[in-house]
Amino acid sequence: MKRYAGQTVFVTGGNKGIGQGIAKRFAEEGATVVIAAIDRDTPEAASALAAETGADVTGYVLDVTDAHAVRDTYEQAEARHGPLSVSVQNAGVITIAKVENLTEREWDLNLDVNTKGVFLCCQEAVRRFRASGTKGRLINTASGQGRQGFIYTPHYAASKFGVIGLTQSLAKELAREGITVNAICPGIIHTEMWDYNDRVWGEMLGTYGPGELMAEWVEGIPMGRAGTPAEVGALVAFLASRDASYITGQTINIDGGLIMS
């Protein structure tokens, strides 16, 4: 399907992992895709995705915690591609530490990227939706830890609970304008971040070798497997579509049934 032909979609953290899966799905469905991430190779990642899908994909280096940089990047994207239809706030980080070792710097990093960064990008997207009269879509990446905190990550859990609250608040404010705001809560997904989680949590929780803790956790998923970035991309593409026009303020788990709430 080419549901997004003629539309421009902005995806933060779109150069790898879940974000890459989201960006690829929109590209396959005909969108012009803008990916923005802090990594210096983001333009190269965009070029690779364009070559793979045949879509128009542009990449910008962006620190989502910098309000001026966010505004400039959205402005550049619109100047090049026209009004935005969808903005996906996916950029995120995680660190893992026991409470007595958790530093203020780690706390600030997680809250700044995962919550403040989502807000700044939503704020800028809304400005542009209103200026162009677009009934746009905002989709925010939370986490299973936005539903249920986990050991050694109180800062990360707090940041993702914040995303859910932000989503609900904005959805109520923007509903009468036809702008929908929803969030997703990915569970265990095959990404570099989960490779990090497996290694660091494994070391802290016991004598786990590479992949062993991940395998143990996956056994607890009712569907018996981890998810893929492509599956997350499919959910996000649905939430951005006309078929989801009456869905707003919702947070949807995508975790194989791990958390049912």
Residue 41, pLDDT above cutoff 90: yes
pLDDT value at position 261? 81
pLDDT in tens, 168-210: 999 999 999 999 999 999 999 999 998 999 999 998 988 888 8
- CB-based contact 11:36 (threshold 8 Å): yes
Write down the domain spans for the chain.
8-187+229-254
| pTM for the model | 0.96
Q: Check if CATH label 3.40.50.720 holds for domain 8-187+229-254.
A: yes
Both structure tokens of 237: 């593409």
pLDDT in tens, 97-136: 999 999 999 999 999 999 999 999 999 999 999 999 999 9
Instruction: Over range 145-150, report the average pLDDT.
Output: 96
Confidence of residue 52 (pLDDT cuts 50, 70, 90): very high
User: Which position has the token pair 């210096």?
Assistant: 40
Catalytic residues: 156
pLDDT value at position 206? 85
pLDDT value at position 210? 87
pLDDT value at position 205? 87
pLDDT value at position 208? 87
DSSP code at position 48: H
The average confidence (pLDDT) of the chain is: 97
User: Which position has the token pair 């050991």?
Assistant: 151
Confidence of residue 78 (pLDDT cuts 50, 70, 90): very high
pLDDT value at position 6? 96
pLDDT value at position 207? 80
Residue partners of 169: CB distance under 8 A and separation at least 6: none
pLDDT value at position 74? 98
Instruction: Over range 43-62, report the average pLDDT.
Output: 98
Pairing of strands 180-186, 137-141: parallel
What percent of the chain lies above the pLDDT cut of 90?
A: 93
Q: What angle do CA 95, 20, 144 make, to 5 degrees?
A: 45
